[in-house]
């Protein structure tokens, strides 16, 4: 059995250890070695201040009474953290950018830095936190009595008093040592993180002991008789489940202490990323032990034992006193961490949102304040801490006989849930107004008080039993737990439903009806678009002036002499001044106001600045421009996207064009080397023969004439080649203009055949005319057209290796087109050469017959002419027609003259 | 995965969580059956919880430190060169 002294000594020793942790890390942080204190792990552990003694003791009690219901309290926050990107990230960003010091500061700052709203939020927060703090006092007192076995009948409220007093001392010592430019408490955060580890280890240890030491395995736990009752499938997951999950998710955002650790104490936005999964994991681990302890407690401990204390009584019943002591310390940890952070958060709110504005407004006090604002803040915070704990203690005394821990906690949750509409609305809805937020908050708060807080005092002497059961003055419509006759089975669901509905409804309605004032609108835009708009441009909107001396005096009072000098010098440097005093322009005043807001809250900072600044105007034009700019930025980025797509397609086109150019360049090189080659052959023969003629005196005249003949032929060939090249280049560049006239293509064809007959006869090739039309009126240059025919025929003659070489010409008119065919029975053209033959210097036949000469430009020229006449010259696919092997079949297609086309068609059909 | 895809994934996981832990789905598993020596509903809730944590951790790890803000990127365009970000902690 543990004596009260041992327990007390352990508790005091533990508190001393906490001091050490807090002190050392505060020291390190001040020395600039934040290191550990700003790691994402510490950040996450400090968030787990969420797990109070409600979790440590109450979860087991809740599980023993209501089964799985306790899980809602942890699933709600899990969901909020899983979706961290959408709400938490924005909250943290806003908190950092606007130097928010508490949730009251956030709401007031969003709604036009309203002092009245700040007061309202603060009052609600303090009142809602009271049952929560009472819960911790009750848990510590009860656990102390249980573990030291000092409990008589009923709770000893004296113990509770000393617990409260001890906590007040600790909180004052650590939470209010100084006023930072931003409300960060490295020492406290470190101590909280340490406590988070202690409570986790303690609860896991008890759980492990119960599962392995007592039951001997996890399946044994679930086969104990109470398991059937605790986890009965008859339990319905209904409105209460949904309400509790919603409340818990809300609480993780709205509880002043959660806001403090998550938003205000956040040192780096990236920490949130780790916390997004690590904090749910912490909650998960905390919950692991709950069910085994609850089931084993119900099975093994005597009937009527307090299930809230199973965590302690179970190890004690098994004679594990060391474990019981560890569990006590764990519970003590969870209670102290909650009370410390909650008191710090609440005291900051009270001092910044209530005391400061009053002090600034009272002229008599205002002068006193000019002495030392810091001192006023510290004193007011210390007093608030004492008062807050005192209120918690009073609530604890009044409700000492009633509720289980969980029920008390839920009252607090429902209270802070009233902040949700104003908070979320302020973050995402630009048009939300100060009036809407105030109306919603106030109505929600009243309904919450009436339906949840009032009934919790039932039987304590303040509220009579009949008030709750019959309603005030016997009006049953106004019964606190059944407003308007809604007989909800669950008072919590009932209260949350009415308060949140009314709150949200009024918030939206009043916001829609009311028009925003300028500052309200400015802050709304800055908050909602926090990821788009830089607050630092706030000075664009608010124009005011002040003397630098006034500003400096004021800054000194709040920031302290040294800090103020540093801030001023830094800004002067940024303005590019050599002096240590900056120009008191709008930008600097805005900067200073934000800095002060970190210490005294946005509303107070604004009041203080406006005491020394004059001529404040908020530029409406600038404000409208800001909204426009946001719109423009969105449009601009869309335009950019479109442009980049366009650029991409242009790039593809350019790449293709480049590729084509490269090919053309290669072709040109090819062409040049071909030309030189072609020119070189006749040139060298001319040269050699003329050399022979020059020194050969002994040549007979016949030989000489022969040589001269060769030279002559070669020069002719050379001239022809050059002519062809010129022709081609003119054709291709489009410089050559054809003499277009009305000609009969059939006539031209016949004339060309006649021209070729001589050549054909000498080559032994027979030229025949197949089916032909007599009339084919086209517009063309007759000479050029004839050149095409002659070229085709001469190729057919020259390269025909057949035994009975023959060339057949035919023509027809079809669909407004004139077609001329040149067939031969030669070797044909290899498939792979079909397109190549139309390029320059490509003699498809020459590979087979190298002795044959010709520049290989004929077909290229012919095709160019055909195209120039809007026609086409093609090599038709080999069809195997004609005798022997297929031979080649060229087709020239030319358009008929439009005017005559129809007449001709009629003539032709008449002829047939 | 780019940042806007991660953002979408986070949204989906959040809704998945709500779907998993709300009545209709819970009632499906609220049966007189056991798995691994534990009641089915207990295995379901704790298992689903752990899965949700795992998914969130996976997504969080995919965000690199220098990921641009989806909104912030736009904001930077709007900023003139004259606007400087003030330090959160003076000098710190």
* Rounded Cα–Cα distance for residues A294 and A409 (Å): 19
Minimum-distance CB partner of B56 among A237, A277, A633: A277
Confidence of residue A912 (pLDDT cuts 50, 70, 90): very low
With the C-alpha atoms ordered A795, A796, A801, A804, is the resulting torsion angle positive or negative? Answer: negative
Q: Model ipTM?
A: 0.79
Assess whether pLDDT exceeds 50 at residue B83.
Answer: no
Q: Is the pLDDT reported for residue A902 higher than 60?
A: no
Q: How far is CA A563 from the centre of its chain?
A: 37
Q: What is the DSSP letter of A211?
A: I
User: Which among A219, A531, A632 has the least Cβ separation from residue B69?
Assistant: A531
pLDDT given at position A851: 44
A623-733 fold: Helix Hairpins (1.10.287)
Q: Which of B3, B6, B30 to substitute to test the interface with A, most A CBs within 10 Å? A: B30
- Supply the DSSP string of A442-504, one letter for each residue: HHHHHHHIIIIIHHHTBTTTSB-HHHHHH-GGG-GGG-TTSGGG---S-HHHHHHHHHHHHHH
Phi then psi dihedrals of residue A893, to 5 deg: -120, 130
Q: Residue A770 is inside which H or E element, if any? A: none
Name the least confident of A599-613, A780-794, A873-887: A873-887
> How far apart are alpha carbons A475 and A480 in whole angstroms?
10
- Alpha carbon of A321 to those of A56, A150, A307, A326: distances in Å? 18, 15, 19, 9
Quick one: closest CA in A to B10, which residue? A83
Size of interface A-B (CB pairs under 8 A): 144
Confidence of residue B89 (pLDDT cuts 50, 70, 90): very low
Q: Is residue A658 scored above 90 in pLDDT?
A: yes
CA-CA distance, A475 to A467, in Å (whole number)? 9
Q: Please enumerate in sequence order all residues whose Cβ is within 8 A of that of A139, keeping only pairs 6 or more positions apart, or say none.
A: A52, A53, A54, A56, A57, A58, A308, A331, A335, A405
Range from A352-356, A443-447, A565-569, A843-847 that averages highest in pLDDT: A443-447
A41 Cβ under 8 Å from any chain B Cβ: no
Q: How far is B1 from chain A (nearest CA, A)?
A: 16
Residue A893 to residues A362, A399, A742, Cα–Cα distance (Å): 104, 108, 16
A354 close to B (CB below 8 A)? no
DSSP state of B68: P
CB atoms within 10 A of CB A199: 27
Backbone φ and ψ for A211, nearest 5 degrees, come out as -70, -50
Q: CA dist A203 to A60, A296, A324, A330, B84, Å?
A: 11, 15, 10, 7, 49
Task: Return the SS3 of A872.
Answer: strand
β partners of residue A821? A810, A891
Q: Would the CB atoms of A280 and B52 count as touching at under 8 Å?
A: yes
Using CA coordinates, name the residue in chain B closest to A564: B90
pLDDT at B1: 65
**Chain B interface test: which of A182, A221, A269, A534 (most B C-beta within 10 Å):** A534
Q: How confident is the model at residue A540 (pLDDT cuts 50, 70, 90)?
A: low
Integer Cα distance of A596 and A387 in angstroms = 26
Separation of alpha carbons B71 and B88, rounded Å: 20
Q: Which residues contact A462 (CB under 8 A, 6 or more apart)?
A: A398
Domain boundaries, chain B: 3-62
A297 and A313 in contact (C-beta within 8 Å)? yes
Average pLDDT over residues B20-24: 85
CA distance A558 to A564: 8
Across the interface, which of A277, A288, A632 has its CB nearest the CB of B57? Answer: A277
Can you tell me the distance from the alpha carbon of A4 to that of A325, in angstroms, rounded to the nearest whole number? 11
CB contact under 8 A, B18 and A288: no
**Which chain B residues are Cβ-neighbours of A629 within 8 angstroms?**
78
B2 min Cα distance to partner chain A (Å): 15
Q: What is the mean pLDDT of residues A639-651?
A: 87
Please tell me the distance from the alpha carbon of residue A725 to that of residue A727, in angstroms, as a whole number. 5
CB contact under 8 A, A563 and B32: no
DSSP H or E run through A158: helix A157-175
Q: Which of residues 753-812 of A touch B (CB under 8 A)?
A: none
pLDDT score of A289 more than 80? yes
- Identify the residue among A86, A532, A535 best suited for mutation to test binding to B, counting B beta carbons within 10 A and taking the highest: A532
Predicted confidence (pLDDT) per residue in A709-723, tens digit: 888 888 888 888 888
Q: With contacts defined as CB-CB under 8 Å, which chain B residues touch A591?
A: 86
A485: left (phi over 0), alpha (psi -120 to 50) or beta: left
Which pLDDT tens digit goes with each residue over B33-57?
777 778 888 888 899 999 999 999 9
Kindly state which CATH superfamily the domain A4-401 is placed in.
Sodium/glucose cotransporter (1.20.1730.10)
Nearest C-alpha neighbor of A259 from the set A139, A88, A110:
A88
At residue A744 the predicted structure's pLDDT band, cuts being 50, 70 and 90, is: confident
Q: Where in chain A is the domain with CATH 3.30.565.10?
A: 741-911
DSSP-derived secondary structure for A341-363: HHHHHHHHHIIIIIIHHHHHHSH
Residues 254-283 of A with CB under 8 A from B: 270, 273-274, 276-278, 280-281
Instruction: Lowest mean pLDDT of A52-56, A746-750, A908-912, name the range.
Output: A908-912
Give the pairing of strands A766-769 and A806-814. Answer: parallel
Query: Is A219 in Cβ contact with B37 (below 8 Å)?
Result: yes
Spatial separation of the C-alpha atoms in residues A622 and A628, rounded to whole Å: 10
- Start-end of H helices in A31-58: 40-47, 53
Cβ neighbours for A848, distance < 8 A, ≥ 6 positions apart: A799, A801, A827
Q: Which residues contact A490 (CB under 8 A, 6 or more apart)?
A: A239, A240, A243
Asked if residue A37 lies in contact with residue A25, where contact means CB atoms within 8 angstroms, the answer is yes
Rounded to the nearest 5 degrees, what angle is found at the Cα of A122, between the Cα atoms of A120 and A128? 100
Quick: pLDDT tens for A139-188: 888 888 887 776 555 556 777 788 888 888 888 887 776 655 455 678 88
Interface of A with B in 70-109 (CB under 8 A): 71, 75, 78-79, 81-86, 96
Selection from A556, A368, A261 nearest residue A360 by Cα: A368
Please indicate whether residue A659 or residue A803 has the higher confidence score (pLDDT): A659
pLDDT for residue A625 is more than 70:
no
Q: How does DSSP assign A305-339, residue by residue? A: --GGGHHHHHHHHTT-HHHHHHHHHHHHHHHHHHH
Helices H, strands E: what count in chain A? Answer: 38, 9
Residue-wise pLDDT for A383-411, tens only, equals: 989 999 998 888 888 776 655 566 777 88
CB nearest A276 (choices: B34, B60, B86): B60
Q: Which of A245, A563, A567 sits opposite B21 (nearest CB)?
A: A245
Can you give the pLDDT at residue A181? 46
Separation of alpha carbons A889 and A809, rounded Å: 10
Span A72-78, mean pLDDT?
Answer: 91
Whole-number average pLDDT of chain A? 80
Strands A741-744 and A777-780: antiparallel
**Ranges for all domains in chain A classified under CATH 1.20.1730.10:** 4-401
A820 pLDDT exceeds 70? Answer: yes
Q: How far is A236 from chain B (nearest CA, A)?
A: 8
Judge: domain A741-911, CATH 3.30.565.10.
yes
Q: Which helix (H) or strand (E) holds A617?
A: strand A614-618
pLDDT exceeds cutoff 60 at A349? yes
Average pLDDT over residues A285-297: 89
Q: What is the DSSP letter of A56?
A: I
Residue A497 C-alpha, separation from nearest chain B C-alpha, in angstroms: 18
pLDDT at B51: 93
Alpha-carbon distances, residue A146 vs A54, A157, A306, A310, A325 (angstroms): 16, 14, 10, 10, 11
In chain A, CATH 1.10.287.130 covers 623-733
Ramachandran quadrant class, A884 (left: phi over 0; alpha: psi -120 to 50; beta: rest): left
Nearest to B60 among A227, A277, A595 (CB): A277
Q: How far is A266 from chain B (nearest CA, A)?
A: 11
A224/B contact by beta carbon, under 8 A = no
Q: What value does the mean pLDDT take over residues A551-573?
A: 79
Distance CA A181, CA A177 (A): 13
Cα–Cα distances (Å) from A392 to A164, A452, A567, in that order, read 8, 17, 40
């Amino acid at each position: 059995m543990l004596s009260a002294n041992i327990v007390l000594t352990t508790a005091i020793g533990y508190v001393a250890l906490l001091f050490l942790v807090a002190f050392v890390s505060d020291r390190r942080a001040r020395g600039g070695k934040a290191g550990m204190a700003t790691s994402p792990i510490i950040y996450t552990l400090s968030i787990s201040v969420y797990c109070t003694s409600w979790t440590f003791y109450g979860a087991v009690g809740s599980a023993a009474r209501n089964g799985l219901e306790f899980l809602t309290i942890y699933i709600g926050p899990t969901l909020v953290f899983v979706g961290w990107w959408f709400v938490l990230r924005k909250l943290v960003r806003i908190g950092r950018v606007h130097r928010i010091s508490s949730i009251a500061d956030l709401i007031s700052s969003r709604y036009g830095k309203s002092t009245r709203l700040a007061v309202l939020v603060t009052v609600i927060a303090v009142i809602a936190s009271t049952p929560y703090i009472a819960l911790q006092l009750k848990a510590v007192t009860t656990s102390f009595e249980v573990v030291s076995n000092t409990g008589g009948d009923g709770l000893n409220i004296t113990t509770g008093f000393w617990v409260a007093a001890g906590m007040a001392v600790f909180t004052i010592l650590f939470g209010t040592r100084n006023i930072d430019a931003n409300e960060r408490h490295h020492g406290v955060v470190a101590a909280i993180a340490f406590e988070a580890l202690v409570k986790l280890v303690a609860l896991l240890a008890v759980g492990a002991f119960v599962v392995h030491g007592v039951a001997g395995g996890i399946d044994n736990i679930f086969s104990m008789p109470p398991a059937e009752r605790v986890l009965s499938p008859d339990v319905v997951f209904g409105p209460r489940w949904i309400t509790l999950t919603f409340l818990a998710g809300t609480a993780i955002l709205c509880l002043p202490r959660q806001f403090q650790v998550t938003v205000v104490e956040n040192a780096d936005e990236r920490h949130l990323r780790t916390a997004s999964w690590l904090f749910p994991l912490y909650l998960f681990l905390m919950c692991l032990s709950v069910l085994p302890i609850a089931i084993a407690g119900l099975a093994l401990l005597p009937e009527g034992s307090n299930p809230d204390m199973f965590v302690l009584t179970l190890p004690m019943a098994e004679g594990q006193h060391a474990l019981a002591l560890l569990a006590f310390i764990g519970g003590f940890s969870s209670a102290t961490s909650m009370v410390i952070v909650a008191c710090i958060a609440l005291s900051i709110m009270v001092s910044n949102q209530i005391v400061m504005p009053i002090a600034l407004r009272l002229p008599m006090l205002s002068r006193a304040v000019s002495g030392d604002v810091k001192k006023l803040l510290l004193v007011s915070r210390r007093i608030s801490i004492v008062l807050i704990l005192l209120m918690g203690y009073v609530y604890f005394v009044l409700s000492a006989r009633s509720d289980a821990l969980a029920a008390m906690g839920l009252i607090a949750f429902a209270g802070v849930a009233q902040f949700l509409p104003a908070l979320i609305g302020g973050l995402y809805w630009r048009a939300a107004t100060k009036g809407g937020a105030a109306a919603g908050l106030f109505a929600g708060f009243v309904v919450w008080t009436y339906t949840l807080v009032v009934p919790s005092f039932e039987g304590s002497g303040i509220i009579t039993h009949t008030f709750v059961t019959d309603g005030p003055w016997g009006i049953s419509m106004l019964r606190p737990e059944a407003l308007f006759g809604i007989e909800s089975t669950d008072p919590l669901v009932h209260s949350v439903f009415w308060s949140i509905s009314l709150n949200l409804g009024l918030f939206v309605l009043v916001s829609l009806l009311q028009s925003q004032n300028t500052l309200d609108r400015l802050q709304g835009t800055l908050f909602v678009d926090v990821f788009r708009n830089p607050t630092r441009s706030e000075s664009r909107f608010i124009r005011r002036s002040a003397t630098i001396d006034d500003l400096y005096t004021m800054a000194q009072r709040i920031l302290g002499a040294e800090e103020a000098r540093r801030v001023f010098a830094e800004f002067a440097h940024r303005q590019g001044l050599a002096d240590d005093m900056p120009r008191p322009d709008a930008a600097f005043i805005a900067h200073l106001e934000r800095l002060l807001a970190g210490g005294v809250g946005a509303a107070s900072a604004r009041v203080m600045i406006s005491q020394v600044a004059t001529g404040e105007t908020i530029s409406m034009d600038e404000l409208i421009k800001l909204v426009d700019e946001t719109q423009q930025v969105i449009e601009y980025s869309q335009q950019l996207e479109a442009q980049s797509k366009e650029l991409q397609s242009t790039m593809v086109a350019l790449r293709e064009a480049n590729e084509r150019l490269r090919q053309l360049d290669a072709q040109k090189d090819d062409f040049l080397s071909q030309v030189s080659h072609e020119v070189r052959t006749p040139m060298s023969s001319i040269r050699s023969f003329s050399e022979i003629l020059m020194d050969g005196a002994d040549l007979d005249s016949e030989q000489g004439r022969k040589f001269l003949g060769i030279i002559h032929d070669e020069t002719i060939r050379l001239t022809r080649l050059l002519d062809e090249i010129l022709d081609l280049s003119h054709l291709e560049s489009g410089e050559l203009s054809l003499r277009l006239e009305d000609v009969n293509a059939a006539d031209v064809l016949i004339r060309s055949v006649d021209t070729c007959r001589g050549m054909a006869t000498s080559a032994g090739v027979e030229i025949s005319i197949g089916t032909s039309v007599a009339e084919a009126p086209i517009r063309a240059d007759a000479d050029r057209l004839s050149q095409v025919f002659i070229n085709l025929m001469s190729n057919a003659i020259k390269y025909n290796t057949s035994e009975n070489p023959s060339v057949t010409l035919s023509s027809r008119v079809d669909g407004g087109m004139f077609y001329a065919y040149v067939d031969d029975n030669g070797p044909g053209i290899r498939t792979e050469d079909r397109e190549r033959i139309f390029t320059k210097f490509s003699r498809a036949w020459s590979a087979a017959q190298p002795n044959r000469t010709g520049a290989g430009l004929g077909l290229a020229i012919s095709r160019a002419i055909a195209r120039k006449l809007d026609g086409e010259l093609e090599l038709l696919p080999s069809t195997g027609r004609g005798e022997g092997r297929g031979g080649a079949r060229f087709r020239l297609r030319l358009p008929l003259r439009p005017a005559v086309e129809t007449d001709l068609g009629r003539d032709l059909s008449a002829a047939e | 995965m780019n940042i806007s895809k991660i953002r979408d994934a986070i949204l989906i996981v959040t809704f998945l969580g709500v779907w998993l832990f709300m009545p209709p789905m819970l009632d499906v598993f609220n049966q007189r059956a056991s798995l691994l020596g534990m009641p089915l509903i207990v295995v379901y809730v704790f298992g689903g919880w752990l899965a949700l944590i795992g998914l969130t951790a996976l997504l969080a790890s995919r965000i690199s430190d220098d990921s641009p803000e989806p909104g912030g990127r736009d904001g930077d365009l709007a900023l003139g060169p004259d606007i400087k970000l003030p330090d959160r902690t003076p000098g710190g």
